[in-house]
Amino acid sequence: MGISRYALNRRTFLRGMLGGTALSFALPPLEAMFAPNGDRLAHGAEIPKRFGVWFWGNGVRRAHWIPDGTGAAWMPRAELQPFVTAGVRDYVSPITGLEIKTATHPHHSGMTGIMTGARYFELGAVRDTIATTFAYPSIDQVVAERWAADPMTRAPYRSLEVGICRFRGTDEGTTFQHLSHNGPNNVNPSEYEPIRLFRRLFGMPLDAQKDVARASVLDAVKQEIDALKPRLSMTDRGRLEQHTASIRAIEMRLGTVGASCVRPGAPAEDYPEPSGQEPIAAKNAVMSDILATALACDLVRVFSVMFSTAGAGTVFWQVGAVNGIHQINHDERAMGAEPQPTVHAATTFTMEQLAYFLARLRNTAEGAGNMLDSCAILCTSELSEGFVHTNDEFPILIAGKAGGALRSGLHYRSPSRENTSKALLTVLRAIGDPRPSFGYLAGETNQVISDLLV
């Protein structure tokens, strides 16, 4: 790696004006921001760690999920094969055999158990079931609160919440609709509109005038970009050009160049749904690209992605589904289709979307490695098997290396139905949180999965 001629702060912004609106443009990871060997930032600090949650609803099919073999020699079955195809298998650690110890009402117990290590807070009865909310902050907000209090880990955005498949759930409380919680009935709603997320992060105001919205944010900082290039190494010039090309491509996909401004409350028009079919893969791709860029620019270090909600009614038409996946979980078994081919295909499709996001991070250079090297991402659901509504054999993946604190690419198989909070405490320890335990009452544990920690 060549040595840049001068040093840049990791969180450097270029600033400009467009149509009377002040805009800022965050730079990608450049050599000039790191020590010569790429293992630290230029001023000596460690490369920042990132923490995230990637969630999908209704669980998996165990027969196609639980890998063969343990440790580094595990072999994926069909629902984990997308990680091999995407080239990120060695960044993903499946954890199997754990169970929610606070289980009483499957969807609700699984959701709050895996996100807080606690039982849900019951709000009352709804039809033939219950309505609940989180009794405690979700793990992403536990991390966000700690990092926001420290100038060394604080980022411009305290946390970022992203949604992919639109909510098609029920009136069973915030547990069924939201992932990130600060406490009971206190949620951090996910942003489901790519164009709004982009403008929020990269300086294009939602209430900008049409002439601003028709231009590119790159136009506002072109002069600063041109002045910066001669100071950079050849490698950094290439990375900067790649970054600006990526921003321009996202703008074009979102229609921010040559399109009118999308104001708050305006209906989504950038991703139409012909015949009611959600463009899930396309939306996941652009949201993944935006989030990966935000992480690379150090705009945020804590994030959550709600791919589909608990008890999701998402219609995975891409695999032939004509009904919501929650209902199909019940219907396919009732009709005698025990292998549940549609549920299996929908789960595989979902893992392909997660694999795209992880590959996007892996393909983003940072220092001597890549963005996924610095991440610790908890990937999970609220159930094990959707058709029997179980909270044992809980599906958990931990992706990333947490800056070298995690041993990635290992399959840990619990020998005794251990507490799912053990996985949560493991991730917290990997990102530097020294708390002695995590969870509450039956969900509390002081144990970690030592096999995964360096």
141 and 181 in contact (C-beta within 8 Å)?
yes
For 362, counting Cβ atoms within 10 Å of its Cβ (0-12 exposed, 13-18 middle, 19+ buried), the class is buried
- Residue 177, both tokens: 């609709």
Given this model, what pLDDT does residue 262 score?
A: 28
Q: How far apart are CA 296 and CA 371, in angstroms?
A: 7
Given this model, what pLDDT does residue 212 score?
A: 38
What contacts 24+ positions apart, CB below 8 Å, involve 165-170? 165/278, 165/280, 165/307, 165/308, 165/309, 165/312, 165/314, 166/192, 166/278, 166/314, 167/309, 168/309, 168/312, 168/313, 168/314, 168/315, 168/324, 169/309, 169/310, 169/311, 169/312, 169/313, 170/126, 170/311
Nearest to 289 by CA among 178, 349, 188, 363: 363
- Show the domains of the chain with their CATH numbers: 49-193+270-452 (3.40.720.10)
Given this model, what pLDDT does residue 253 score?
A: 56
Given this model, what pLDDT does residue 13 score?
A: 67
For 404, counting Cβ atoms within 10 Å of its Cβ (0-12 exposed, 13-18 middle, 19+ buried), the class is middle
Chain centroid, CA 409 distance in Å:
18
First to last CA, the chain: 27
Q: Name 438's bridge partners.
A: 445
Q: How far apart are CA 150 and CA 98, in angstroms?
A: 33
Residues in the chain: 454
Could you tell me whether strands 396-399 and 375-380 are parallel, antiparallel, or unpaired per DSSP bridges?
antiparallel
Q: For the chain (length 454 residues), average pLDDT per consecutive 10?
A: 56 64 67 71 76 97 97 98 98 98 94 98 93 98 97 91 91 95 97 88 51 54 82 84 73 45 34 78 92 88 97 94 91 71 96 98 88 97 91 97 97 97 98 97 98 97
To the nearest 10 degrees (0 to 180), the angle between helices 280-296 and 194-202 is 10
Phi then psi for residue 179, to 5 deg, are: -100, -50
Q: Name 366's bridge partners.
A: 369
To the nearest 10 degrees (0 to 180), the angle between helices 139-148 and 421-430 is 20
Q: What is the pTM of this model?
A: 0.82
Residue with tokens 């990375």: 239
Given this model, what pLDDT does residue 4 score?
A: 41
Could you tell me whether strands 412-413 and 92-96 are parallel, antiparallel, or unpaired per DSSP bridges?
parallel
Given this model, what pLDDT does residue 268 score?
A: 41
CA angle at 235 for the pair 233 and 241, rounded to the nearest 5°: 100
Residue type, 140: D
